[in-house]
Amino acid sequence: MRVRTSHLRRTAWSALSLTLLAGCATEREAAPPPLAPNRVVVDLSNETIDALAERVAAQVAAQVAAQAAPQPGSVAGIEVGNAGPRNEAGRPTATVAGRAVAPALRASPPPGVFVKPPHVEASAAIAEATAAVDAACEWLVAHQSEDGGWHPDTFTTRCPGVPCEGRGASAYAPGVTGLAVTALLRATPTFEANPRRDAILAGLRYLRGLQDSEGCIGPRISSHFQYNHACASLALVEAAARGAGASADIRESAQHAVDFVLRSQNPYLGWRYGVRDGDNDTSMTCWMVRVLAAARDAGLRVDDNAWRGALAWVDKMTEPEFGRVGYQRRGGPTARPIETLERFPPELSEAMTAAGLLVREVCGQTVADNEFARKGADLVLSRPPTWDVEHGTNDFYYWELGTDALRRADAPRWAVWRSALHGAVTLRQHREDSHAHGSWDALDAWSNEGGRLYATATLCLALENVVSTR
Ligand SMILES: [Zn+2]
């Protein structure tokens, strides 16, 4: 095994190419296969081209060295140049192509490096997502509790034999129930045609039973009670839109829940954990905007000032050069529970940028006509879903938000994100013959809270975006 740098020419901002040839016993093979479609687009915004070339070369060399039995042409060549398109800041981007390069970089992309996922045809992505959604819904129904709710801590009571793994915290039952009901509702175009009507109605009864006199769903004992309320409200609103159950009752509960969302908003800004207490964050604001958008679609009453306040908060949190949206600080990192901060580093996620983009889109801004929506979409796309627990990239909450945001962006960006989602989510679902069939392992930044129920409902919701675009 040897790695040889056969050609290296450097001129600042002029064409530079770097070719690595992986020598191996099968060099006699006359012609290596053509370059694979794995093309790695490298954003050179933050470093010189020389530094980048050295780093890419080192990574590829390490990857080749790690291969026990390299295939001919497995490292066919790398080209780094400035002939490619320019990014939003007018800086050059470069393309790295090579069969073995993309996997190496994808596992742990350096900051600023965008590893484009292998393309998956839309028809294949949709067909497999459809099957995955169906399996996920079956698993969810099999883990519903007798009271109609989904309980992160006790969902395994009906598991035969070895129970499913991945318990979460009991406090999130209202929110996780909301996610599960919404996932079941969205799996079928109409409520009448939904084969899981009974489970949905039981879930809705459970949620309505938790609603207090002000419309808030779930007890206000946890500091995160507004997440419970938002997720539960979304289920009620979407059920109302579909005329589920005794629709007058459902609509009344849904409107009551929406009224509590409106009452909780800070004047001219967003939301956080309290009721109009002056505290705001991008995550909670995005979730409340999702509820209000669904309410608008369902014909429920929504105050137009709500959109203006949410947009004002997102604008305040948007850093203008690259469009990154912060959690509570302009351009700052996304949020993480303290216990998973090291295992799932926040810098590997663009969750808040996705949340900000989604707020902009719901409020009518598009990547075609809004600079910050466009920059945000590109930043989100630079962190596509990648299932890699070792490197800490798993963030199901982010992937679901990003999916909702990117499907609204435009077709080219959506195609790239959908391909990544296919590899990271569809292909990671448990499909073996076990009770976990149809679920996903609770392995991400938020799984300590919501457990396997959260993981499965959230990723099912993400895939439903793929199915609904057929
Ligand atoms: Zn089970």
Please tell me the predicted confidence (pLDDT) of residue 246: 79
From ligand 1's centre to the CA of 184, what distance in Å? 18
Mean pLDDT over residues 59-70, rounded? 48
Q: Between these two residues, 161 and 166, which has the higher pLDDT value? A: 166
In the predicted model, is pLDDT for residue 208 greater than 90? yes
DSSP 271-331: B-SSSSSS--BHHHHHHHHHHHHHHHHHT----THHHHHHHHHHHHHB-TTT--B-SSSTT
From ligand 1's centre to the CA of 38, what distance in Å? 38
pLDDT classification of 54: cutoffs 50, 70, 90: low
Q: Which CATH number fits domain 122-468: 1.50.10.20, 3.40.50.880, 3.40.50.300, 3.90.79.10?
A: 1.50.10.20
**pLDDT by residue (tens digit) across 396-418?**
999 999 999 999 999 999 998 99
Q: For residue 34, what are the CA distances in angstroms to 74, 121, 287?
A: 10, 20, 46
Q: Which residues pair with 325 in a beta bridge?
A: 318
Amino acid at position 32, single letter: P
How many C-beta atoms surround the C-beta of residue 223 within 10 A?
11
From ligand 1's centre to the CA of 431, what distance in Å? 13
From ligand 1's centre to the CA of 136, what distance in Å? 12
Report yes or no: 356 and 317 within 8 Å, Cβ to Cβ: yes
From ligand 1's centre to the CA of 162, what distance in Å? 8
From ligand 1's centre to the CA of 318, what distance in Å? 42
Question: Which of 8-22, 355-369, 409-423 has the lowest average pLDDT?
Answer: 8-22
From ligand 1's centre to the CA of 198, what distance in Å? 19
From ligand 1's centre to the CA of 442, what distance in Å? 13
In sign, the C-alpha dihedral spanning 400, 270, 177, 192 is negative
Please tell me the predicted confidence (pLDDT) of residue 5: 30
**pLDDT by residue (tens digit) across 295-323?**
999 999 999 999 999 999 999 999 998 89
Please tell me the predicted confidence (pLDDT) of residue 62: 56
Please tell me the predicted confidence (pLDDT) of residue 19: 28
How many C-beta atoms surround the C-beta of residue 31 within 10 A?
7
Report yes or no: 182 and 454 within 8 Å, Cβ to Cβ: no
Please tell me the predicted confidence (pLDDT) of residue 368: 96
Backbone φ and ψ of 60, nearest 5°: -65, -40
Report yes or no: 153 and 167 within 8 Å, Cβ to Cβ: yes
pTM above threshold 0.85: no
Please tell me the predicted confidence (pLDDT) of residue 420: 92
Please tell me the predicted confidence (pLDDT) of residue 115: 60
From ligand 1's centre to the CA of 143, what distance in Å? 6
Mean pLDDT over residues 107-132, rounded? 77
From ligand 1's centre to the CA of 282, what distance in Å? 34
From ligand 1's centre to the CA of 160, what distance in Å? 7
From ligand 1's centre to the CA of 156, what distance in Å? 5
Please tell me the predicted confidence (pLDDT) of residue 119: 83
Q: Are strands 39-43 and 93-97 parallel, antiparallel or unpaired?
A: antiparallel
In the predicted model, is pLDDT for residue 430 greater than 90? yes
- What mean pLDDT, rounded, does the chain reach? 82
Report yes or no: 467 and 133 within 8 Å, Cβ to Cβ: yes
From ligand 1's centre to the CA of 139, what distance in Å? 8
- Return d(Cα 102, Cα 96) in angstroms, integer: 8
From ligand 1's centre to the CA of 439, what distance in Å? 9
How many C-beta atoms surround the C-beta of residue 179 within 10 A?
25
- Return d(Cα 232, Cα 242) in angstroms, integer: 16
In sign, the C-alpha dihedral spanning 357, 362, 368, 372 is negative
Q: Which own/partner contact pairs does 265-272 have at CB distance under 8 Å and 24+ positions apart? A: 265/306, 265/309, 266/309, 267/309, 268/305, 268/308, 268/309, 268/312, 269/309, 269/312, 269/313, 269/316, 270/309, 270/310, 270/313, 270/314, 271/226, 272/226
Residues with CB under 5 A from ligand 1 (ion): 159, 164, 435
Exposed (0-12), middle (13-18) or buried (19+): which is 107, by Cβ within 10 Å?
Answer: middle
pLDDT classification of 43: cutoffs 50, 70, 90: low
From ligand 1's centre to the CA of 173, what distance in Å? 17
From ligand 1's centre to the CA of 159, what distance in Å? 4
In the predicted model, is pLDDT for residue 37 greater than 90? no
From ligand 1's centre to the CA of 233, what distance in Å? 27
**pLDDT by residue (tens digit) across 234-257?**
999 999 999 998 778 999 999 999
From ligand 1's centre to the CA of 418, what distance in Å? 28
pLDDT classification of 156: cutoffs 50, 70, 90: very high
Please tell me the predicted confidence (pLDDT) of residue 29: 30
pLDDT classification of 101: cutoffs 50, 70, 90: very low
From ligand 1's centre to the CA of 150, what distance in Å? 13
From ligand 1's centre to the CA of 163, what distance in Å? 5
Backbone φ and ψ of 311, nearest 5°: -65, -40
pLDDT classification of 20: cutoffs 50, 70, 90: very low
Domain ranges for the chain: 2-115, 122-468
From ligand 1's centre to the CA of 83, what distance in Å? 53
